[in-house]
Structure 1
């Protein structure tokens, strides 16, 4: 529950948000003394805020009975849910294969990489592909695109929509509802189903995410939420790292709840930064080690020579694997690959995800690849957005 429900002054609400207290759950565990120090207010005022938070969150009393166990489920129920998960295609079959079918719903997927590698292109592609009708292999849903950098390009989205429609109609030319679907699948309709938010500060970003559940209650056909990028304002506007960590943790928990509660995919696009380790600078995804645990899966996009690759760095159900992908006028697509195909199996019980074959590319680790590509062009620990479509 958000702090907006508390009967306190708007000044105190603004102070709480800036200090990283965006929910009642984060307030009920803090002491009035500490809160007074962080907000620079009187202890009496801090005590009043904490008491109101306890009252409105229901944490002031003891929870008993069924309400305490609300939301729990058995492992068998979880397994059944995983078997019927929906996926959003990336537009590249090899990329989809290493993901087990595409970007999974009910999960938060983080995608990171150097500038120009195709993160925004992937975000636009997912916002289009999610709208393909169910009968044609899509989810027939809408997309929410939260843009913190101003990198979303409607002209590019129109191109990708045109290509997606052409490919879909060519593939299902003999479908019984082909003529009806041909009339419905128009680029202008695809772009009309992308709900766009332009975010200019971290407070706006927090506010949008805090209220996103209200928006989704009215639009239950939304199947993907894309944030491009999750890091932009938090790298620039924050000096207090402890407060930033708390805000990010709270935000990630809300996004996890949205993904599971509304059966949609949350895709977080992330930037790279340099980290001094063992006497040298190395490339790593932004926001530090703590943030690495805030997503369900993590995918790294990197250069291998002049070719783009996607690598699964973290996943609870998928093995580490890499696959090549290309970006052209149509969007994200396959490349003519010569790498060997390998079957990834689970030693305990058969193959992963019903014997799905995945691309396994034997290459150096993604971060090493990113560093080599950048050093070759700009020298060590430097990079620029030099590759664009």
Structure 2
């Protein structure tokens, strides 16, 4: 039985879930002292480890230098990379949503593209990392991953031929299966499983080095279905978002979350916005909304502390995300 179904107050359920106790079996195995700490909100976990309350300080000068050496994951679309400052940034949490009609499958392609591109070797401008893919809706398409992986290897070979004629790096000969082996796939079927998995990721990444991106497709699905206790939902989402932010900073990796789009009544009219409300909008560093501009797909930076609001065209091809095929490729400032 899941903790979320227990006949106790919402605050107690929230504290147990936030402490990592998602099932009755987990509670039964825990000591009385650990349960007491969970009930009072102290951050000891079921595995006996505790989180640090206060982290080490950092000067603004250190932060500025860190920015200069930031790592990025290419989207395979030059126009989109340009408005993002180089691609999807490590240490940031990026949220992506699409307007009705843009296509859930099409957005999924962009997430798969990132899971493949994070593995591009450093000699080709990549990170040579691995990916964690959390699937809440069962929409992950391994055949599509293989197709994009094959295209990525072909692109690297073409790059090598143009820029490294006197060098033949062994990475060019990597097989698409190698790319698939570096994508850790998790299927979660409830919000309690989703929370438990994210609590476990710190340990998983410690054991599996070189993870450079965590993808959640989608972060909203289990929190929008049959969730009656809105106060508990807000608490759990905030705890989950905080853990993802800490993972991004601690391991210098990118977190990318897919969100769904809804409508909100603002200043006398209904406007499209991402789901889960205003409080959730503070849970990400950057927010990207995908939309149609005529017959052309565009990505719009809706929120970012360091990037200008701008939109760029892109296209979805059999090889993955690429530059728009339109003759009009101007980047639009919003």
Settle same-fold status: TM greater than 0.5: yes
Cα distance, 1:336 vs structure 2: 3.7
1-structure distance, mates of 2:263, 2:43: 43
**1:73 matched to which residue of 2?**
58
SS at match of 1:214: helix
Task: After superposition, give the CA deviation of every residue in 1:197-224 in whole Å (9 maximum; x if it has no partner).
Answer: 0011000000000111000001121000
Cα distance, 1:52 vs structure 2: 7.2
2-structure distance, mates of 1:280, 1:167: 46
1-structure distance, mates of 2:41, 2:184: 35
Which of 169, 173, 181 in structure 2 is aligned with 1:192?
181
Which of 321, 326, 341 in structure 1 is aligned with 2:310?
321
**1:161 matched to which residue of 2?**
149
2-structure distance, mates of 1:54, 1:239: 23
SS at match of 1:293: helix
**1:247 matched to which residue of 2?**
236
Moved over 6 A (4+): 10-18
Which of 221, 237, 241 in structure 2 is aligned with 1:232?
221
Which of 274, 279, 286 in structure 2 is aligned with 1:290?
279
Q: How many residues align?
A: 308
2-structure distance, mates of 1:280, 1:288: 17
Cα distance, 1:12 vs structure 2: 10
Residues 239, 273 of structure 1: CA spacing in aligned structure 2 closer, same or farther, 3 A cutoff? same
2-structure distance, mates of 1:55, 1:221: 31
Cα distance, 1:280 vs structure 2: 4.5
1-structure distance, mates of 2:268, 2:197: 40
- Structure showing greater Rg: 1
1-structure distance, mates of 2:133, 2:53: 35
2-structure distance, mates of 1:204, 1:56: 19
Residues 204, 55 of structure 1: CA spacing in aligned structure 2 closer, same or farther, 3 A cutoff? closer
1:149 equivalent to 2:101? Answer: no
Residues 210, 17 of structure 1: CA spacing in aligned structure 2 closer, same or farther, 3 A cutoff? farther
Residues 52, 227 of structure 1: CA spacing in aligned structure 2 closer, same or farther, 3 A cutoff? closer
TM-score, structure 2 as length reference:
0.84
Which of 360, 363, 375 in structure 1 is aligned with 2:332?
360
SS at match of 1:112: strand
- What are the ranges of 5 or more consecutive residues in structure 2 without an aligned counterpart? 21-31, 45-51
Q: Which has the higher contact order (CA 8 A, sep 6+)?
A: 2
**2:172 matched to which residue of 1?**
182
Cα distance, 1:238 vs structure 2: 1.2
CA RMSD of aligned residues (A): 2.9
Task: After superposition, give the CA deviation of every residue in 1:277-314 in whole Å (9 maximum; x if it has no partner).
Answer: 45554321110111011101111111111110001111
**2:81 matched to which residue of 1?**
96
**2:23 matched to which residue of 1?**
none
SS at match of 2:212: strand
Residues 100, 54 of structure 1: CA spacing in aligned structure 2 closer, same or farther, 3 A cutoff? closer
SS at match of 2:86: coil
2-structure distance, mates of 1:68, 1:249: 17
Task: Tell me if the contact between 1:110 and 1:268 (Cα under 8 Å) persists in the aligned partners.
Answer: yes
Task: Tell me if the contact between 1:90 and 1:332 (Cα under 8 Å) persists in the aligned partners.
Answer: yes
